[in-house]
Amino acid sequence: MKIGSPKELFAGEARVAMTPDSAQQLQKLGYDCLIETGAGLAAGFTDDAYRGAGVTVVDNAATLWDEADIIAKVRPPETAEAERLKAGKTLISFFYPAQNKELLEFCRDKDANVIAMDMVPRISRAQKMDALSSMANIAGYRAVIEAGNNFGRFFTGQITAAGKVPPAKVLVVGAGDAGLAAIGTATSLGAITYAFDVRPEVAGQIESMGAEFVYLDFKGQQQDGAATGGYAAPSSPEFREAQ
């Protein structure tokens, strides 16, 4: 069975679904691996690196979609990519089926299989496949680095011969995977960090990372926005307005 990864078509997308390292792991399991030429360049992987890992580099996307039994990519497929799906083939990618109902129906009509990586349940058994949390962790870290780059001075406080510079104050809204990564990064850079979440039970996690949990004064009590699986439940319009 062949697993292939095409070049991402979304503008500015640097990620690639298959690396030379992961390709070697797949080959140990008995799969043949294909990659579209140039697919890994933006992520720092050359075609020669893939060839060195035993991956077959194909000249174009059409050939890859035709030859591969399983297509692994990062972004949901563009319309042109979905049209290349054939009956019995399997697509593995972020898909967001609730937001892409027409695309999902299109793939079903083609009798293709779709595995949406964004729908992996947040349970211990599936932790290794939880790509969404991994990407959220990177996004939270990157958000603070970008904020620091645009802030204009150090996040940490300093006492110099020229005077005292107070530390920056950072507010992180939401304490999911991205939020916790942002809190950890801001705190490690020396900022005074505050965080808010609709789930009061995450206050302990926030405080354990050196940040202060911000309670919202909403009709005398904090609304509990917790849902199952570690996710937040939809909040009322009044609560969102107060927030």
Q: What is the DSSP letter of 154?
A: -
Report d(CA 118, CA 205) in Å as an integer: 24
Q: What is the DSSP letter of 232?
A: B
- Which phi and psi angles does 176 have, rounded to 5°? -85, -155
Length of the chain: 243
Q: Please name the residue that has the structure tokens 């870290």.
A: 141
| 127 catalytically annotated | yes
CA 71 to chain centre: 19
Catalytic residue from among 231, 236, 240, 243 = 231
Catalytic residue from among 133, 188, 222, 235 = 133
Token duo for residue 217: 């004064």
Token duo for residue 80: 């042109």
| 93 catalytically annotated | no
Catalytic residue from among 69, 122, 188, 222 = 122
Catalytic residue from among 25, 99, 127, 134 = 127
Token duo for residue 140: 């939270």
Residue 94 in contact with residue 121, Cβ under 8 Å? Answer: no
- The candidate with the shortest Cα–Cα distance to 200, out of 170, 239, 142, is 239
Catalytic residue from among 22, 130, 188, 205 = 130
| 231 catalytically annotated | yes
Q: Which residues are catalytic?
A: 122, 127, 130, 133, 231
